[in-house]
Amino acid sequence: MQIIKLRIDGQFFYLENGQDTDALKREIIAAVTTGAGFVDFIAIGHGQVSVLVTPSFGARFEVQERTEEQIAEWEENPPVIDFEAYGHE
């Protein structure tokens, strides 16, 4: 199953299936263009997330393959979102 991974400022989030990633990209660009702004999305295992986006933070979208079992497990044991603090995914 394909899922979208969003990485912002060393943190990553697996986006809930069905989110409009094109709209999310536009929101991120709008926040950066105006200097800063909160961008909202739903992350698997973390629910509703609001991230402050500024011109100094990069954003990266990746398409990855994960099994349905892995995704279901994240509801009870969410993946670590702070990659830099923990050094692994």
For the whole model, what pTM was predicted?
0.76
End-to-end alpha carbon distance in the chain: 18
**pLDDT tens digits for range 8-43:** 888 889 998 889 999 999 999 999 999 999 999 999
Q: Can you read off the two tokens belonging to residue 81?
A: 């979102």
Per-residue model confidence (pLDDT) at position 58: 86
CA angle 85, 36, 39 (to 5 degrees): 70
User: Within 1-89, where are the H helices?
Assistant: 21-33, 68-76, 83-86
Of 28-37, 38-47, 51-60, 72-81, minimum mean pLDDT range: 72-81
Per-residue model confidence (pLDDT) at position 66: 85
Looking at the predicted structure, is the pLDDT value of residue 61 above 90? yes
